[in-house]
Amino acid sequence: MSRGDAQPARALAKPAFSDPQASALVESVFGLKVSQIRPLPSYDDQNFHVRVAGAEGGPGGPCEYVLKISNAEASRTPELLQVQTHALLFLRAAGLPTASVCRSKGGGLTSLVSADGGSRVTSYVVRLLTYLPGIPVAEVPVGPPLLYEIGRLAANLDETLEKFHHPKLSCLHRENFIWNLRNVPLLEKHVDILGQGQNRELVVRVIQLFKDEVLTKLKHFRECLNHGDLNDHNILVESSKSACGDAAYQVSGILDFDDMSYGYYVFEAAITIMYMMIESKSPMHVGGHVLAGFESVIPLTPVERGALFLLVCSRFCQSLVMAAYSCQLHPENEEYLMITAKTGWKHLQQLFDLGQRAVEEIWFETARSYTSGLSM
């Protein structure tokens, strides 16, 4: 689920390749003969699930891939996409369940292709990734064990990225990137899309609280590289059997590194909590299970814990406001863009109705129960 910087030019720059055009790209750029292709849901990039004849994948090699065509605006900064691609490979080498990246016929991990849009020729960065097995978390019942594992995964990911180096790593300091939690105040120029009413008032309130109570504490947070989008469609799981024989799930894949940027450990924890709340039947308790998993790897400091509630609320606002904004630009993609909104407004309102102290009590007591052996 790739997203942009909230600029109209970027949102309108989504590629529009047909299935035959995408097939031709796979053959011309990567030298693979496509046997089947279908589009995958996406935000402002374009993704395709690609099958090639078994022999085309090489002896014992993969025969399923994901073709990623980055939007025109993102394609203007290929060095950023290169860093994200190398980070993906670094994580895979470190044992995390990320895709592998296929090299083009020219040997590159990314390729720039041009398409005639009628009035002008537009360039797009193209990548081909191996297809990861599994189903999105959004499609399975998510209980405490899986929430704990996902929290642990988020922390492991950030901790592993501490060792990642690249000559262009500084490009991940994305100052005006709308999806970095540091940039919640940038939502102010988009809140009018919500019209007048309770939702707008709630977002304006969160933004002001963020300015007053989070921005002033950033210097006390520990900085790191964030995946930045561990949502319920970017984490894949496979079924397994628990010790007692019940159906269970374990993480099998992490998708979409296009929102990577420099942030803080607590940002990753908050983003993961927010997205895991979306489909939960008990959303207010999600945070404690995810936090327990996260802190089993990286314990948060008291000041980071104190900001977690507002950071979760702020991520809800980012997702809800930008979904409404993008729907205005791309009404044909409304079903996909409004996934979070189906329950997001209700969850955000419930968080505020309960209040920070009550929510923290639920989260922190649940997380504490893991260390005392009382969880589940």
Active site residues: 229
Distance CA 159, CA 145 (A): 21
Residues with Cβ within 8 Å of 157's Cβ and at least 6 positions away in sequence, in order, are: 91, 96, 227, 230, 254, 268
- Within 13 Å and on the Cβ side, how many CA atoms surround 20? 0
**What residue ranges in the chain does DSSP mark as E strands?**
34-40, 46-52, 64-69, 101-102, 111-116, 121-130, 135-136, 223-226, 235-241, 247-254, 261-264
Distance CA 256, CA 230 (A): 9
CA 89 to chain centre: 17
R_g of the chain, CA atoms, integer Å: 21
Backbone angles phi, psi at 133, to 5 degrees: -75, 160
In DSSP notation, 52-102 reads E-GGGG-TT---EEEEEE--TTGGG-HHHHHHHHHHHHHHHHTT--B--EE
Distance CA 184, CA 203 (A): 10
Which amino acid is located at 263 in the chain? Answer: G
User: Would you tell me how many other CB atoms lie within 10 Å of the CB of residue 25?
Assistant: 23
